[in-house]
Chain A
Amino acid sequence: MIKFSKEDKQQLIVLANDNNIFIEGPLLKMIDPDDDSVFKSYLEAATESDQSNRRKRLEITKQIQTQNNELQKAAESNHSLMIELKDAVQKAEDAKTVAVNDLDLVQKKTQFELIGNIVNIALFVIVGVGLITTLLYVIAIFTGSAETTLIGSTWSNLFGILLTNSFSIIGTIMGVKYASEKSEGK
């Protein structure tokens, strides 16, 4: 234990009375009042003042600690929300890519179907014209018409054109069919 001289004790008491300044901290626990009732009162007042200051500081520190914890929790929550948001954006982008690909596929399929329809109609028209011309030629032969030669050369030309174009049309149909099957496979 620490002992102070009478002069030191007096100076400390005067300092406390005039300026309200006391000894603080664990040192207070180490001072021996030495049966001096006035100095004992001074030490009690100093201890009370010290404890009061510490209580205030403790409350403020606790408040700061609580606020810090809340801020930390909020930051963690924000972080996890950001991760969720990034995931959602990524999923949306993936879905968009899939949708764009699907749309592209549908457009291509529609185009292929359109081409297929045009080719089919063209084929029907050509076959129809061929059948009608052949029918006219057969009727002309059996009825002994004077136009047999003209119809015959027309039929011959038309059939030549039909044969040439039919390979082209069949090729186109096969191409369209192959491309359609490949798209469906994807």
Chain B
Amino acid sequence: MQVIKSILLVDDETLFHLVFDDACNILDISLNLETVSSSDAAENMFKKFQLNPGDKPECVFVDLNIIGSSFDGIELVRRINYQYGNGVVIGIISSSSDSIEINKAKNAGAQFWIVKSDAIEPRLEQFKSDYLNYKNRTGNFKVYK
């Protein structure tokens, strides 16, 4: 499987940034990982990407509840999909597995939902094997738990 060139992680929990970075490296998922701690910062990045689409990450992982942000992860997914021209593989990574929220995310245009837990690596590995389908827009919405 092809390595994802760049991933953007939007999550308020900085410790999870380290976990995700190490897990992605160990599993050989990505070459470059960028992290931001608020949905506002992520939105600002996507505003800039409208001017330079080449800088856009290939894949975006968004936390559901991002403390210290003006809006939640689902709203960020919706804005990236409908306001900032999409063009990325995007999904939610959250400790929640609430079916109502999952449906909301799906309706907002999320392609996947990864449940955060101590055992994140097997889920990321599964995601890695499905990644091409997401990239080619042939994969259905999937929950990894």
Contacts and interface: CB of A to CB of B under 8 A. Distances in A.
Interface in B1-31: 3, 13, 15-16, 18-19, 22-23, 25-26, 28, 30-31
Nearest to A56: B22
B28 A29 contact: yes
A58 B28 contact: no
A62 B3 contact: no
Nearest to A24: B25
Contact of B32 (A26, A55, A65): A26
A68 B32 contact: no
Q: Taking chain A's interface residues, is the majority helix, strand, or loop, or is none over half, making it mixed?
A: helix
Interface string A38-69: 00000000000011001101100110111010
Q: How large is the interface on B (under 10, 10 to 19, 20 to 34, 35 or more residues)?
A: 10 to 19
A25 interface: yes
B19 A65 contact: yes
A30 B25 CA distance: 13
A30 B13 CA distance: 29
B98 interface: no
Interface of B: 3, 13, 15-16, 18-19, 22-23, 25-26, 28, 30-32, 118
Interface of A: 25-26, 29-30, 50-51, 54-55, 57-58, 61-62, 64-66, 68
